Each structure stands twice: as C-alpha cells, then as structure tokens.
Amino acid sequence: MLRRQGLRVGRFEVFLLSDGRFRLDGGAMYGVVPKSLWCRHEDVDDKNRVLLDLGCLLIKTPAGKNVLVDAGLSSKFDSDAKFKSVYAVVRQKTLRDGLKEHGLAPSDIDLVINTHLHFDHAGGDTEFDASGRPVPAFPKARYVVQRQEWEDANHPHERNAASYMEENYAVLGERKVLELVDGEAELEPGLKAVRTGGHCAGHQGVLIESEGQAAFYLGDTVPTRAHVPLPYIMAYDLFPLDTLDFKRNLYERALKGDWLLLFDHDATMRSAKLALEGGRYKAA
C-alpha cells in the first residue's frame, strides 16, 4: 500500500501533507493520563507543550478529483507574533508547498472536507486578499462540514470560543461554497464523511474505501498514534465518553477490515495499522 509518493488505497492516491508544526499543552493533549506515562512518547518543551503536526490530507480520486481534508493555519497568522509565540508555530514548509510538489495550485482543489472548524484545521480555508478581507483559499472548491459543527462555530460558548475564528470560515457561507451534511455522507464514490462527535459534537472523520482496501482519517478523535489506546483522550474533547464509544466501535471495524489509520497531529508517524495486544489497542 505504501508508495514513494504517498499511499494507495485501492484506486485512490493519498498524500499526507502538512502546513507546519505547532505546540499545545501536554496535559490538555492527554487528559486524565498522567505525564509520567505520556511523556515517554513526546517531545516536551520547557512550557510543557508537545510538538504536533499541522496535518492535512490530499486525496486524488479515481475520477480525477482533487480532495483536501483539513487545511492547516494559512498565512493569515504569519504576522501575528503573539499567536505564533503561544503556539510555537513553525511553518518552514506549508500546505501550498506540498500541493505544489504534486503539481497542484489552490485552484486545482475540487473539494475541501473539514473535520471541524478549529483554527488549526480550518485556518487554511481562507486567505486575506489585498484589502485584508478573508476570501476562500481554494476558489473552485466546495467546502464540506457537519451542520452541527457549523452551528457550534457560529454560536460558540466559553469552553470552545478560543478555537473558533470566524475569519476562517464565515465567508464560506457568504459565498455559498459551503455544503452542510448530517451524519454519514458519501461525497464522492468511495469517499465518505463520517460524524464521530467526541472532540466536538460535529466533528467528522473521512473514510476512503476502494477495491477491498480502506483508510480512515481520524482528525482529532485520535490525533496521534500515542492516542490510540482507548483511555488516551484529550482534555480538549467536549464529549470524552462519545470519543471513547466511537474509538471502540471504529477499532472493531478497522481490525476486521485491516484499515489504515491516518493521524492529523502526529509529528513523526502520520499513518499506521491497528493492533490488539493483551487487550490493548496500539498503532502497529
């Protein structure tokens, strides 16, 4: 399944791209799991922040469509010194660089699927134009998000408001390039959005199925391979028991079908198979 250029899932080509790296608090990333356990997996700085990838996914469909899953931060935050300091953002190589390596420009993207609308996943949905106004970064694409997530992003509360920045997504609704889905939805033949909940009520993953092979892009449901064990759930998750239930059900299907799991934030391993050893799930 592994190719030099990326991954092949049946007739789909899949490329693990990145918009850079950033850091988040390790305790928040691991929730109830004590640091004595999770620190062995992580690059931890003097502020207790762990290193994470700003992962994105490029999918080339059998029909010749170019699909992007999540879009990183974008250049909108490059001049914001405070933001870059708080999150230790480094963008030496960006999503646009990755697209260019595959012979693509933003105008070549047909579909953008957002797992959710937090700034590190939807920041790249838009860019500022010459007048400083946000515009869609992928001018010919339709953008897909769960209806529940769209409602939550536009009506944030004290717990999630810091994650939603309307300059990242408001214009998508105004320009009528937004497609809202409810639950599981087939977006292209063999390509499905699957509502996971957990991290936020409208969080979704992406399932790719073709010729007996399958891969699942986990988004923030399982952000890194270290989060594969069932109890490893972020404190950022608004509904952690929903995350737990979805992981348990997903893993049963993934093991049975020999699925490939795709991570968004792992700084060193973006894909892995699933293994069950001694009653414990792990990335293999």
Q: Other C-beta atoms within 10 Å of 162: how many?
A: 10
Side by side, the strands of the sheet bearing 191-195 are 185-188, 191-195, 204-210, 213-217, 260-262, 271-277, 280-283
Answer yes or no: is 152 within a domain. Answer: yes
At 212 the three-state DSSP class reads coil
Mean per-residue pLDDT, 69-89: 94
Answer yes or no: is 68 within a domain. Answer: yes
Residue % of the chain over a pLDDT of 70: 98
User: Does residue 40 register a pLDDT over 90?
Assistant: no
Domain of residue 200, residue span: 7-283
- pLDDT for 1 equals 37
Residue 34 phi, psi (nearest 5): -70, 155
Vertex 227 angle, CA 116 and 5, to 5°: 70
Look at the chain and report how many structural domains it folds into: 1
Answer yes or no: is 187 within a domain. Answer: yes
Query: How far apart, in whole angstroms, are the C-alpha atoms of residue 145 and residue 154?
Result: 13
Answer yes or no: is 278 within a domain. Answer: yes
- pLDDT for 196 equals 98
Residue 191 phi, psi (nearest 5): -125, 115
Point out the least confidently predicted range of 39-43, 84-88, 203-207. 39-43
pTM attached to this predicted model: 0.95
Mean per-residue pLDDT, 72-90: 94
Identify the CATH number of the domain in which residue 35 sits. 3.60.15.10
Side by side, the strands of the sheet bearing 12-25 are 7-9, 12-25, 49-60, 66-69, 111-113, 142-146, 178-181
Query: How far apart, in whole angstroms, are the C-alpha atoms of residue 14 and residue 12?
Result: 6
Which amino acid, one-letter code, is at 157?
A: H
Answer yes or no: is 243 within a domain. Answer: yes
> What are the pLDDT digits (tens) for 1-28?
333 358 999 999 999 999 999 999 999 9
> What are the pLDDT digits (tens) for 115-152?
999 999 999 999 999 999 999 999 999 999 999 999 99
